[in-house]
Amino acid sequence: MRTWVAPGRVNIIGEHTDYNDGYVLPIALPLVVRCTAAARTDGLVRLGSRQRPGEPVDVEVSGLDGARARVPGWARYPLGVVAEFTRRGNGIPGVDLDLDGAVPIGAGLSSSAALSCAVAVALRDQFAPDLTDRTLVDVARAAENDYVGAPTGLLDQSAAMLCTAGHALLLDVRAFAADTAAPRGTEQIPFDLGASGLELLVIDTGQPHELADGRYAERRAECAAAAEALGVGALREVASAADTTRIADDVLRRRARHVVTENARVLAVAEKLRSGLDPRGIGPLLTAGHASLRDDFEVSTTALDAAVDAALAAGAHGARMVGGGFGGSVIALVEQDRTEAVTASVRQRFADADLPDPRTFAVAPAHGAHRVA
């Protein structure tokens, strides 16, 4: 048996822009999902998870579609990847998949994409070695969209597959999606906060989110309606926030304004990092992104807002929620010698508000999916 890993991610900036053909800027986390795999010859997919020791799953490769409704929710991600492999004509005679995840579930750090991509690289290396990383991004996304029913964009799977250590991945989703043969629309941008005495602190609020619960899909539908109201194919095509004033409906206008201004923030952050400027200068852009997600896109929560406010009050240069929203995590750009003070400030704010004690940890850009043994 061999083992493959795929990382979770945090998005430095660029939330809800990927499914609007826009720009995103994620890094891969050192936290990974591990997939140990071995081929079988009896047509059976056998799943096991260290996080679900009492829920082994056995499904015939030929019966994957019919099994979807009766298997546990966590099992639909790896089974969806197997199903997508076979749907694309890649024969799988059977496989054992043993999973172990260190990416916090529901924290907005893309544990689901890490799971899907870990399985995807394991299957690719054993059964379809000619498939590219670019193809695996599509395989993993299709598994989540079609088998699980989570309407994700390309951000999470692209980060898990394509990020490199020490860099943020600038992804132009429209250019990337237009070419399935190679990863066009990507740029690896150096992201070394430690060299400037900084850290990126992740604050897991302990308030889980769930992309398949309907609210994420609702935001996607609102963005599509806003684009239609403006007569464009996607909100990425809107030149400036001023153009969104042509939308009569207040909710749709605010959804569009977030996407347009968030795309601008991604490009601004990327340019600052690319130019070698002091990374402290991206802090206000992170905070502005949170305000937009809170007020215009309405996907923040009391806990997320409390974490942002407490981090800023303790001296963070910028802070914002990450992920799809309605729970999950916050990132804060902090001085290395202020990490403990920021953490203490957030914990005290949560204690005062009778919220669960948050988990905090510093992260640096890690490798994308790969085999480790």
| Neighbour-count burial for 338-364, b at 16+ CB within 10 Å, e otherwise | bbeebbebbbebbeeeebeebebbbbb
Q: Cα–Cα distance between 312 and 284 in angstroms, integer?
A: 10
Catalytic annotation, pick one of 156, 172, 204, 296:
156
- Cβ contact 65:115 at 8 Å: no
d(CA 103, CA 76): 17
C-alpha dihedral sign at 88, 162, 24, 251: positive
Residue with tokens 């590219």: 132
* Selection from 113, 67, 74 nearest residue 97 by Cα: 74
With the C-alpha atoms ordered 203, 302, 10, 271, is the resulting torsion angle positive or negative?
Answer: negative
Pairing of strands 359-363, 198-207: antiparallel
**Can 156 be counted among the known catalytic residues?**
yes
Q: Are 158 and 23 in contact (CB under 8 A)?
A: no
> How far apart are alpha carbons 124 and 298 in whole angstroms?
39
Active-site residue set: 156
